[in-house]
Amino acid sequence: MSAIHWSNKMAEITASAVKALREKSGAGMIDVKNALVEANGDEAAAMEILRKKGVATAGKKAGRVTAEGAVGSYIHMGGKVGVLVEINCESDFVARGEEFQQLVKDVAMHVAASDPRYTNRDEVAADILAKEREITREQLKNDPKNANKPDDVLAKIVDGRLNKFYEENVLVDQPFVKDPSKTIGELITEKIASIKENITIRRFTRYKMGEGIEKKQDDFAAEVASMVG
């Protein structure tokens, strides 16, 4: 009987419950989900579990000034791709620490691999989001399968597509290349809990060899003609 009861309790832990507790606690998704399971879905009890484990601290530290930190670099593919990233923390002591330095290296490597366009959602211009919404709505309208779907359902599909846009283009929303079970934002939250200081990714720049250079296209026909002429 107890096994069945436990299974029913687990079924009550919805994605929305996990999302809500993540926003309140600042803890990572896996920590939040495990806490909710342990607390049989009770949010208050789950929050207490997170606080005891020391992972429900990121939210409290979010307002602290991060004026220290480090600029890290990563070079990939024999010099074909290079990244500079600035990550900030509260103290020089933490900035020089091994855990923080490894975080900087990991984020720089991730940027090289995943090529994000923005650091966070606030950097995405309103007109770009509006264009994405418009394109998605038109795609849905042109799909016969959506002909009888109500507007509120279509709106949720549009929101889902926008979340996909964020996952593909916004650094903190991208799955971490070394551990896709967490996003870069969740990685930062974990490090805030571990290091006990606020941490922010301020900016990054990604360079790709030859990017933006218009390469000369040889006229193959003319070349052949000159060889046989």
DSSP 167-183: HHHBGGGSEETTEEEEE
Angle between helices 29-38 and 43-53 (to 10 degrees): 120
85-128 per-position pLDDT tens digit: 999 999 999 999 999 999 999 999 999 999 999 999 999 999 99
Which two three-digit tokens encode residue 199?
């941490």
Greater confidence (187 vs 53) lies with: 187
Helix (H, G, I), strand (E, B) or coil at 143: coil
pTM over 0.75, yes/no? no
Domains recognised in the chain with CATH numbers: 2-56 (1.10.8.10), 65-208 (3.30.479.20)
Contact 76, 82 (CB under 8 A): yes
Q: How confident is the model at residue 135 (pLDDT cuts 50, 70, 90)?
A: confident
